[in-house]
Amino acid sequence: MVDKQLREDLEKLRAEIAGLDSDVQSKEKLSQLLMDIEQEVEQANLNQGTKQLAEQVETAISRFETSHPTLTGILNNIMVTLSGMGV
Higher pLDDT, 11 or 37: 11
pLDDT of res. 12: 93
Alpha-carbon torsion (6, 8, 11, 16), positive or negative: negative
Range 58-82 average pLDDT: 88
Contact 82, 46 (CB under 8 A): yes
SS (H, E, C) the chain: CHHHHHHHHHHHHHHHHHHCCCCHHHHHHHHHHHHHHHHHHHHCCCCCCHHHHHHHHHHHHHHHCCCCHHHHHHHHHHHHHHHHCCC
Over the chain, what is the mean pLDDT?
A: 82
Instruction: Report the predicted TM-score, pTM, of the whole model to 2 decimal places.
Output: 0.74
